[in-house]
A = this chain, B = another copy of it.
């Protein structure tokens, strides 16, 4: 699967998702606008089905499988939200899903994945290679592997969130998107290039895992060890072979933020916007808050990627 996705693929994904994904609300806050000095539009994918944008890509990918592939079932490896997304999409499409998840994945995500009827295979994210485990399961049992980001249908599906944002609020000056493996960022960039050609598109990743920034600025994919960050959805080790060229071509720059900045953004989300956002979902807004002096007077889009976090951990971060 090495044909890169295009904007037409994003449009086709939007058609497939029409009756299945929530058209998530775009929230605004005059208080946030006053603090940032810009007009900020939050695309709330934490209010998406299963609590994250990942449903879009997974459902789009699974809905394109052949009847034979559907009968055999799918396998996916994920630190959390992609797992739930594949599990839920498989249930909707009446398929069996097998999910390879790290032993230390958040309990709420494991429980939710199991709740959608998926079979779970555990592994150690610090010593084992989930790619290899997933590939072995696919080989041995004839399952179709649904990678978390480096897949044309996944990228196209993720792009539908930004597509909806532009279709609702019109052109923007800048769009901030969290960056792990690059599926959401690449898809968002495809949407931005067509719907708002002058819009600058920024990826935002944890400072502890700045492989995306180094890859973007250096021109080749940098591999790192699993980074130590509270943004568990961005604990990826490298960009993808499909996502990287799109990001290089259509993205303006990649920024990093600290875990402390993520917690501050999470608190503003709770106290001002009244929404629950997981650490990874705070990446884009944390960068907007840090870069506010450079964004004065602009129309900004922020993709709020997800809201899946254990309540106990969330409460501890809010205190």
Contact = CB atoms under 8 A, between A and B. Distances in A.
Interface of A: 22, 25, 27-28, 30, 46-47, 49, 51, 108, 267, 270-271, 273-277, 307, 311-312, 314-316, 318-319
A contact patch SS? helix
A25 B42 CA distance: 13
A51 B316 contact: no
B314 A270 contact: yes
B46 A30 contact: no
A311 B274 contact: no
Top 6 closest A-B pairs, CB basis? A274-B307, A25-B25, A315-B315, A315-B318, A274-B276, A315-B319
Contacts of A28: 22
A274 B318 contact: no
A314 B318 contact: yes
Contacts of A275: 47, 274-276
A79 B264 CA distance: 28
17 contacts: A25-B25, A27-B47, A46-B274, A47-B273, A47-B274, A51-B274, A108-B271, A270-B314, A271-B311, A274-B276, A275-B276, A276-B276, A311-B319, A312-B319, A314-B315, A314-B318, A315-B319
Nearest to A108: B271
A74 to B, nearest CB: 21
A315 B25 CA distance: 25
A30 B271 CA distance: 26
Nearest to A25: B25
A28 B21 CA distance: 12
Contact of A30 (B49, B108, B277, B316): B49
Contacts of A316: 315, 319
A300 B280 CA distance: 33
A144 to B, nearest CB: 25
Given A46-B274, A274-B275, 16 more contacts: A22-B28, A25-B25, A27-B47, A30-B49, A47-B273, A47-B275, A108-B271, A270-B314, A271-B276, A274-B276, A274-B307, A275-B276, A311-B319, A312-B318, A314-B315, A316-B319
Contacts of A27: 25, 47
A29 B12 CA distance: 25
B311 A318 contact: yes
A241 B47 CA distance: 40
B51 A270 contact: no
B311 A267 contact: yes
A282 to B, nearest CB: 13
A195 to B, nearest CB: 22
A270 B49 contact: no
Contacts of A271: 108, 276, 311
Nearest to A52: B274
A283 B109 CA distance: 28
Contacts of A273: 47
